[in-house]
Amino acid sequence: MATTRQHGLRRTLLAAAMLAVFTPAWGDDDAVARLAKPDTASVSVGGAGISGDPKDRSLFTQYNGLHKDDAYFLLDFDYVKRDDATGTWTIVQGKDLGLDTREVRFLYGPQGKWKVFGEYWELTRYYPRTINTSEQGIGSNNLGISLLATPGTGQDVDLKTKRKRLNLGGQAWFGKNLMLEATFTNEDKDGARLWGRGFTCPSAAAPTPVCSALASGANQWALLMVPEPISSTTRQVEVKLNWLGERFNLIGGYYGSFYNNDYSSLNDTITGNLNNGLGVPMSPALTSGLRGILQLPMALPPDNQAHQFSVDGNYAFTNTTRANFKYAYTHATQTQSFSQGGFDAPPPGRSDLGGRLDTNLAQAAITSRPWSKLALLANVRWEDRKDKTPIDLYNVEGTSTFTNGHNSNEKLTGKAEATYAFPYAIKGSAGLDYESIDRDQFVPTDQVAGLSGIRQKTYDRGFHLAATKTMADDVTGMITYIHTDRHGSSWLKPASGATTGVFPADPDCTSNGANACIYSRTAIFPFIFEDRKRDKVRALLDWSPMEKLSIQLSGDYGKDNYSAPTEKGLDHTRLELYGIDVGYQVNDTTRLTAYYTYSEQTLKVAHSTGYIADLKDKNNTAGVGITGIAGPRIHWGGDLMFIHDNNQYNMGLDSGASAQNIAYFNSGLPFIPDATFRDLRIKLFGSYLLQKNSDIRVEVVHDRTKLDEWQWGYNGIPFLYSDNTTVNLKPDQNVTYVSVVYTYRFK
């Protein structure tokens, strides 16, 4: 700040004064204009090169548009003009125009009166792994599958998804308080995504004769990689009429969102035999039953749409007491015709799902400062999603018949908090938190799939404490503590066999018979329903021991302890995080920043077949950045980022483990190995001012990545799909990127 300086003539004024004497009158305006006017017009042209081939750089180039080619043309432009007399802005900008991540945007209009704006944007995401396969038709919804004679000898396929988005919008003020705004977004998405299908016979889901065991009584199964074709359009329209006053803001709005998929189903045709689990052709060959199942059409995401009408706003009762609120009604439907997908027969008389979800949302909050040292806050939010989709008999499995279900959900959340300003510039907050979810009654004709128990309602109650020191000292800090305790309504046991619905669970298996015996030793209860105790602590400390130096220390600790009627399923999750950030102003022209963060996340899951997984993700992330100016012409800088992420899959057996698992465990063979990700990225840049209105910028990025994991292979042995398709990633990737860009600024 200039508070210690003497008042007097300053540089701008002196310059302006001199200009006033020795140059024409426009001179002073010109000097100030350079400092205070936004007007700019520039074009940047250049080239970039990147080392290796796409497989050598697939992790680095997932999103940045540098995947496919080794050299790129770079083109950006920037035009900003403001007509000061009318306050009219004209902005046209283009970025990355030579890449497949190009962006163009514009804005035009007198500020405070009206404006129109738009953006065209492309983004291509390349799946970093390469697929080697003999499959035909990838990217379409008709695939041809046949056994590749030798793994790795098929065609290499790179999957990608490309988004092309167009945003258009406008805003107009009618008088001081009334404003209308509207936006429209259209996004086309094309490409293919890694997907798959598999089945094993015999199966309870496909009883004989559809899916039989081999004559020997053994199984036959297959897994196939079937990329999901993507060719869809998303459209969103939003219109808001705003009344914006000094004390009262009221916004009425409509938001429509529409999804349209060009494909309804994915179909594949399997020619010939497939391999068994040992990687050799099945013998006997692929049965017609399993082949038929693997060739059944797979549904692709259906067209759907939603219309939301809302009103929200806020009101200032006084300068210290304010409220805000929102009410929204959303009507969402999904009525895509079943006949489009070539599926087997739907329920008689039903041509589409008739899916309908009606959601009511209401929210209100009030904040008040009854006196200067005390602040109060209360917030309540209620959201009720009613699934009104017709119920019909979608499942006929031999004698077991049942319907679809409903996905209703009523959520109530609330919060009350008081904050008091204590002496010594310390603020303390204490509050209560509440959340309840009611998933409505289970549809009695539906059948739960793959779960041991469910709950209709859960209640989360808790409190939080916070202390902050915010005033003008060298040290500022904040610490928060959150505790919540989740319970729920009685557990419900899914019916089994041909029975539908759920039964109230009974630990003694007496009142409701065998169907209520939920507490078998191996039952797993979904974590979203389980009782949970959550504790979280967060602390931040900012210290500025001198004007040039700032240090920030941060720490997070959180633990969720889960409990259910059995010891199986999710036991706990935990997070620890510690970090330090440092900023140092080396001199007037050079600034240095650095940070280091260590985090450890734990997930402990007990598997019902007798093993316990204790997963740990240990992460070290560090960064150093420096920027500087060397003389009047050179700007320079650099960043270094390092990340080391180690995922450990610790496994143990419990007393319920099978003899085979115990034997395997005791054999000394490795279990699931660690998955490790390392990335060291160095970026250096420098720009040189060639002339007053042009410069040249050079950027060099070197990235060394290592992803050592077992998902698609281990120790050089690939995971083989049944047609010998493999999915590969070069684990060590070193890539260097160099760009040179010339920028010319028009006067």
Partner 1 sequence: MRSTRHILQILAAAGFFLLACATQARAEELGRKDVVLRGDAKCTRCHDEGDDYPVLAIGKTRHGTVADGRTPSCTSCHGESETHMNKPEGVTERPKPTVVFRGKNHSTPEAQNGQCLTCHQSDAKRTHWEGSIHQARDVACTSCHAVHTGHDKVRDRTTQPEVCFACHKEQRTQINKPSHHPIPEGKMACSDCHNPHGSTGPKLMKRDSVNDTCYTCHMEKRGPFVHSHEPVSEDCGNCHNPHGTTAENMLKARPPFLCHQCHTPHGAQVGQVVGQGQTQPFAGSPLLSGTTSGKSGINYFMARGCTNCHTQVHGTNNPSTTNPTPQFNFR
Site for partner 1 in 341-400 (CB under 8 A): 341, 343-347, 350, 353, 355-357, 361, 363, 365-367, 377, 379, 381, 383, 387, 389, 393-398
| Min CB(554)–partner 1 separation in Å | 5
Query: Of the two residues 66 and 516, which places its CB atom closer to partner 1 in the complex?
Result: 66
Q: Which is nearer to partner 1, 47 or 558 (CB)?
A: 558
Site track for partner 1 across 4-43, x = CB under 8 A: xx-xxxxxxxx-xxx-xx------x---x--xxxx-----
What the block records as the tokens of 359 is 């959601």
- Based on CB atoms, which residue is closest to partner 1, 424 or 511? 424
- Contact with partner 1 (CB under 8 A) among 148, 270, 516, 605: 605
Q: How far is CA 176 from CA 87, 89, 183, 463, in A?
A: 16, 20, 21, 43
How many CA within 13 A on the CB side of residue 742? 6
C-beta of 281: minimal distance to partner 1 in Å?
10
Rounded Cα distance, 21 and 16, in Å:
9
Minimum Å distance from CB 69 to partner 1?
17
Q: Is 658 in the site for partner 1 (CB under 8 A)?
A: yes
Q: How far is the CB of 291 from partner 1 (least distance, A)?
A: 14
3-state secondary structure of 345: coil
Q: Is 288 in the site for partner 1 (CB under 8 A)?
A: no
CA distance 674 to 617: 10
Q: What is the 3-state secondary structure (H, E, C) of 58-110?
A: CCCCCCCCCCCCCEEEEEEEEEEEEECCCCEEEEEEEECCCCCCCEEEEEEEE
Query: DSSP label at 17?
Result: H
- Near partner 1 in 519-578, by CB under 8 A: 522-528, 540, 544, 552, 554, 556, 568-570, 575, 577
Contact between 683 and 652 (Cβ < 8 Å): no
Q: Which positions from 691 through 720 interact with partner 1, judged by CB under 8 A?
A: 705, 707, 709-720
State the binding string over 410-449 for partner 1 (x if CB under 8 A, else -): ---x---x-x-------x-x-------x-x-------x-x
Choose, by CB under 8 A, the member of 276, 590, 648, 687 that binds partner 1: 276
- Nearest approach, Cβ of 464 to partner 1 (angstroms)? 10
Residue of the chain from 158, 384, 531, 645 that contacts partner 1 (CB under 8 A) = 645
Residue pair 643/629 in contact by the 8 Å Cβ criterion: no
Is residue 701 within 8 A of residue 683, CB to CB? The reply is: yes
Out of 55, 68, 81, 125, the only residue in the binding site for partner 1 (CB under 8 A) is: 125
Q: Which helix (H) or strand (E) holds 13?
A: helix 11-22
The CB-of-635 to partner 1 minimum distance in angstroms stands at: 14
183 near partner 1 (CB under 8 A):
no
Location of structure tokens 């109060």:
376
CB of 53 to partner 1, least distance (A): 19
- Distance between CA 357 and CA 359 in Å, rounded? 6
* Contact pattern from residue 137 through residue 176 relative to partner 1, giving x for each residue in contact according to CB under 8 A and a dash for the rest: ----------------------------------------
Kindly tell me which of 150 and 510 has the beta carbon lying closer to partner 1: 150
Does 600 contact partner 1 by CB under 8 A? no
Rounded CA gap, 104 and 354, in Å? 40
Quote the CA–CA distance of 504 and 148 in Å, as a whole number.
52
**Residue 306 contacts partner 1 per CB under 8 A:** yes
Sorted by sequence, the CB contacts under 8 Å of residue 315 that are 6+ apart come out as 247, 248, 249, 322, 323, 324, 325
Dist. CA 165–CA 643, nearest whole Å: 32
Question: Which amino acid belongs to residue 655?
Answer: S
Task: List Cβ neighbours of 46 (8 Å cut-off, separation of 6 or more).
Answer: 73, 74, 75, 697, 739, 740, 741, 742
| Binding span for partner 1 by CB under 8 A among 134-142, 485-493, 617-625, 627-635 | 617-625
Two tokens at 684? 């250096």
Nearest to 539 by CA among 480, 483, 487: 480
Nearer to partner 1, 67 or 510 (CB): 67
If the CB atoms of residues 511 and 660 are measured against partner 1, the closer one turns out to be: 660
Residues 203-262 close enough to bind partner 1 by CB under 8 A = 203, 205-207, 210-211, 214, 216, 218-223, 232, 234, 236, 240, 242, 244-246, 249, 251, 257, 259, 261
Query: What single DSSP character describes residue 264?
Result: S
Q: Where are the alpha helices (DSSP H) in 189-247?
A: none
Q: Given the complex with partner 1, which of 362 and 511 has the nearer CB atom?
A: 362
CB of 551 to partner 1, least distance (A): 13
Residue (70 or 473) nearer to partner 1, CB: 473
474 binds partner 1 (CB under 8 A): yes
Q: Are 681 and 641 in contact (CB under 8 A)?
A: yes
Q: In angstroms, what is the minimal distance from the CB of 239 to partner 1?
A: 12
Backbone angles phi, psi at 665, to 5 degrees: -60, -40
Q: Which of 46, 54, 94, 128 binds partner 1 (CB under 8 A)?
A: 128
Residue 599 CB, shortest distance to partner 1, in Å, is: 6
The three-class DSSP label of residue 449 is coil
**Shortest approach of partner 1 to residue 57 CB, angstroms?**
13
Cβ distance 158 to 69 under 8 Å? no
Distance CA 494, CA 501 (A): 6
Closest CA to 389 of 446, 458, 436: 446
- Interatomic CA distance for residues 90 and 370, integer angstroms: 46
Asked if 87 is part of the footprint of partner 1 (rule: CB under 8 A), the reply reads yes
| Binding characters for partner 1, 312-331, by CB under 8 A (x = yes) | xxx-x-----xxx-x-x---
